[in-house]
Amino acid sequence: MKNPFLVVVYTFLVIVVLPVILTIGIYKDDIFQKEIVQTKTTNSINIKVYNTKTDNVEELDIEKYLYNVVASEMPATFDEEALKAQAIAARSYVFHKMENGGDKIPQHKGAVVCTDHRHCQEYLDTNTLEKLHNKKWMSESWPKIKKAVDDTRGMVMTFEEKTIQPLYHSTSGGKTENSEEVFSASLPYLRSVESPYEEESPKFRANMKISKNDFINKFKGVGIVLSDNLNKDIQVMSRSEGGSVKEIRVGNKVVKGSKVRSILGLNSSDFDIKVDGNFLNIMTKGYGHGVGMSQWGANGMAHKGYKYDEILKHYFKGVSIENKY
C-alpha cells in the first residue's frame, strides 16, 4: 500500500467511516431493544378482578377476562359485528373503572371490577359456561366469541380523549333513554336515540296480569295506600324522551316509574297500566334500564349490514374508537 492515494483512503475509512457505521449499528440495535420492551409492556394488560362467588381477588389478562364477559353478556348466536361492539363496550367499561378509581370501590376489595352483574359486568368462568351450555357450544360458539374480542383487541370508546362509561342493556323497546332520566348524571354521549331493529328480542313487549288485591298489597308493603278505585288512584304524570314513566301518581303519592318497576318486578320502566275488572294488565316495552347500547338493537343493526363502529357510534353519540394497546 505504497500508493499515497490509497493510504489516504484507507486512513479515512478506518478513522471516520468505520466508527460511524458501528455507532449506527449500536443505535439501531438500541431502538430494536426498546421496541421489544415496548411490545412486551403494551401487548398485554393484567387487571385485578374480585370474584364474588369465590370471594377471591384474581389477576387476569384483560383480553381473556373479556372472552368470558362477552360470552356471559351476549348470546353467541348474535352477529359477529354485534359481538365486536359488545367487546369494545366491555373493554371500555374496564378502562373507565381503571381511570376512575374502580379499585377504591368497597365492593371490589381492591380490584378494578367484580363479577357481580348487578354491580359490574356479568362474568362466568369457562367451566360454568360449559356447564350452562354444552361441549358443542364450547367447540363452535366459544371460538366465535374469542374472535370478536381478538379482532377488536385494545379498542375502547372515548369522548374528549377520556374513556366513556359505556352503559348497555338488553332491549330498549324502540328508543333508548337519556342518562339523567334514569341515573343521576347527564352524559353527552348517553343520549336518547331510535333503536328500530329490536323486534326479534323476546323481551321487546311483555304483559303482566295481576289481581287487584295483589297489586294493592304490593304497594301497601312499601307504605303506599290504595283504594279499590284504581282507575282514579293511578295516573302517569310524565314520561321520558325515550318513553319510560318518569313520575306516576299511585294513591296519594307521586313516585318514580323506576320505583314502580322495582315494586312490581317489571321488565322496564316503559309501561302502561290498565284496569280490567278485578285484574290489572301491565304492558311493558323493552328490558333493562334503557340507557346506552341496546344489545338486541345492535344485533338488528348488524343484520342490516352495519359494522361494529357504526353500531357503537349510533348508540354512543360523539364517541371515537381508539386503541389503548
User: Which tens digits make up the pLDDT trace of 120-133?
Assistant: 999 999 999 999 99
User: Which tens digits make up the pLDDT trace of 86-122?
Assistant: 999 999 999 999 999 999 999 999 999 999 988 899 9
Q: Which letter does DSSP use for residue 63 in this model?
A: H
Q: Which helix (H) or strand (E) holds 149?
A: helix 135-151
pTM, to two decimals:
0.84
| Interstrand relation of 271-276 and 155-159 (parallel, antiparallel or unpaired) | unpaired
Q: Kindly give, in sequence order, each residue whose CB lies less than 8 Å from that of residue 32, ignoring residues fewer than 6 positions away.
A: none
Q: Using the predicted structure, report yes or no on whether residue 32 has a pLDDT greater than 60.
A: no
* Residue given cell 328490558 in the structure block: 287
Position 4 scores a pLDDT of 53
Average model confidence (pLDDT) across the chain: 89
Mean pLDDT of 134-145: 95
Nearest Cα to 150, choosing from 94, 60, 87, 95?
87
